[in-house]
Chains A and B, each alone.
Chain A
Amino acid sequence: MKNKSLLHRFVDWVNGDVADDRPGNIRTVGSLPEAKPPKEKPEHTDPLRHLNRQIAAYRVSAVLVCVSLMLALTYTVLCLPTYNDPSAPTNNEVSQRYVEQGMEETGAVNTVAGMILDYRAFDTFGESTVLFTATAAVLFITLSKHTKEWTERGPFADSSKDPILQVVGKILLPMIFVYGIYVVLNGHLSPGGGFSGGAVLGGGLILASSMFGQKKMVRVLSANVTTGLSVACLLAYAAMKGYSFFTGANHVGWEIPKGTPGDILSSGFILPLNICVGIIVACTMFSFYSLFSQVEEE
């Protein structure tokens, strides 16, 4: 119905029955029904006609590609080892080693924390660097001359006067921060860790920023502060892991004491590494928010 009228309008427009400068004729391009290119061949060479035909062909082929991909992947998945199978090749000696000796070797009760921050700490360092690089890239892209225009009609411009936000935020904010800090500090003892706790802290910072208004928040946590904190934490991470890689690989023997597994001060470098990762993630989340809503002043 709607498509049909659009198609008719489009055919009319291609035939030249409608004036070319009619407003809205661009819109027909996006909503053209697939697999029905206009049959008439108009004489005048318009770049639009070519583009439309290409888009129709593109859509049909995209559907074909997706359906064939789905069939192929479903077939592949059905050939994989069965779900729930304890003897599947994924449950090999690697995960067995992590579970059975992870607690002695890393001191962390949470095997996943021991894995990502001790056995595979270099990988996690790369992840933190990815987050930092993403922040830097977003900073480069969003800080432009258009910043000021967006600020005045931004969606969060005057949410700091909302009474519901104020009251609920004052109740919620301490809980969110305490919970986030708890999750970060107990990363080696319970589910959680730097990434999840940092995300909770970042959410708390975003709530605080919409409560107090961004202008106040920028005074405490400007882009410079978040970037500086992230860089400091990345460097601390690199220093700590570099120390343990260097001493461990050269058998120097100056190991960090593991402590008793289950204590809060145990498992060597995992607790400070979790704190570093948590700060990086929180700063990244908050700076994404503040960069996209753009009241950064300078």
Chain B
Amino acid sequence: MLDLQTLIDMRYQVVAVILFCIGFATLFLHPNLIKKVIGLNLMDSAVFLMLAAVGYIDGGKAPIIVDGITDASYYINPVPGGLVLTGIVVAVSTTALFLALIQRLYYMYHTLNLDEILLLAKRSEHY
């Protein structure tokens, strides 16, 4: 299964998986909230790379019919383009929402470190 040729053939997908997991690990491990959001965006980008790689056909042109050829094998798959567009919009919206919430947290605790925020929240609960 894990021969090198398959790995090289599927390089875009494998890179997408690695990028996704880097983003996931950032989301888990980094205490800074802004960097957590960056990790989330990294995961988004990995998904977009995956979709673009799935839709690519060797030698295909962008699906814009300028020279009158309406043959599906002449162009790349247009469906992932639309899906990536949806994904980008949702990523932008969630990022903005996260940043707004982080701004509120910063006003309240004057730090971006999630561990410190949890600690301060816990302390204010205790005393």
Contacts and interface: CB of A to CB of B under 8 A. Distances in A.
Interface of A: 26-27, 29-30, 47-48, 51, 55, 58-59, 62-63, 65-67, 69-70, 73-75, 77-80, 82-86, 88, 90-91, 94-96, 98-103, 109-112, 115-116, 120, 123, 127, 130-131, 133-135, 137-138, 141-142, 144, 146, 150, 189-191, 195, 261, 284, 288, 291-292
B35 to A, nearest CB: 12
Closest 6 CB pairs of A and B: A134-B93, A62-B28, A111-B63, A70-B21, A96-B72, A141-B100
B82 A99 contact: no
B85 A116 contact: yes
A276 B77 CA distance: 26
B63 A99 contact: yes
Interface in B11-44: 11-14, 16-18, 20-21, 24-25, 28-29, 31
Given A69-B21, A99-B70, A112-B85, 8 more contacts: A66-B28, A70-B21, A74-B18, A88-B54, A95-B77, A103-B65, A112-B63, A144-B107
Nearest to B73: A86
Interface string B74-85: 010111111001
Contact of B64 (A82, A100, A110, A146): A110
Contact of B65 (A85, A88, A111): A111
A227 to B, nearest CB: 15
B126 A51 contact: no
A31 to B, nearest CB: 8
Contacts of B92: 131, 134, 284
B13 A95 contact: no
A141 B75 contact: no
Contacts of A59: 28-29
- Residue of A79, A80, A141, A146 ringed by the most chain B CB atoms within 10 A: A141
Contacts of B13: 77, 80, 83
B85 A47 contact: no
Interface of A is mostly: helix
B75 A111 contact: yes
Contact of B18 (A70, A116, A131, A134): A70
A83 B12 contact: yes
Contacts of A88: 54
Interface string B111-127: 00101101110100010
Nearest to B17: A73
Contact of A137 (B56, B77, B86, B97): B97
27 contacts: A48-B119, A51-B118, A51-B122, A62-B29, A63-B25, A66-B21, A66-B28, A82-B9, A83-B56, A84-B9, A84-B56, A95-B78, A103-B65, A103-B70, A111-B75, A112-B64, A112-B82, A112-B85, A120-B82, A127-B86, A127-B89, A127-B90, A138-B97, A190-B64, A191-B62, A261-B65, A288-B96
A277 B13 CA distance: 31
Given A83-B9, A84-B58, A137-B97, A195 B89 contact: yes
- Residue of A47, A51, A83, A130 ringed by the most chain B CB atoms within 10 A: A83
Given A73-B17, A99-B72, A100-B71, A134 B97 contact: yes
Given A111-B65, A191-B64, A55 B115 contact: yes
Given A66-B21, A123-B86, A130-B89, A77 B14 contact: yes
B20 A73 contact: yes
B78 A98 contact: yes
A27 B31 CA distance: 11
Contact of B115 (A30, A142, A191, A261): A30
A115 B78 contact: yes
B67 to A, nearest CB: 10
A66 B25 contact: yes
B104 A99 contact: no
Contacts of B16: 77
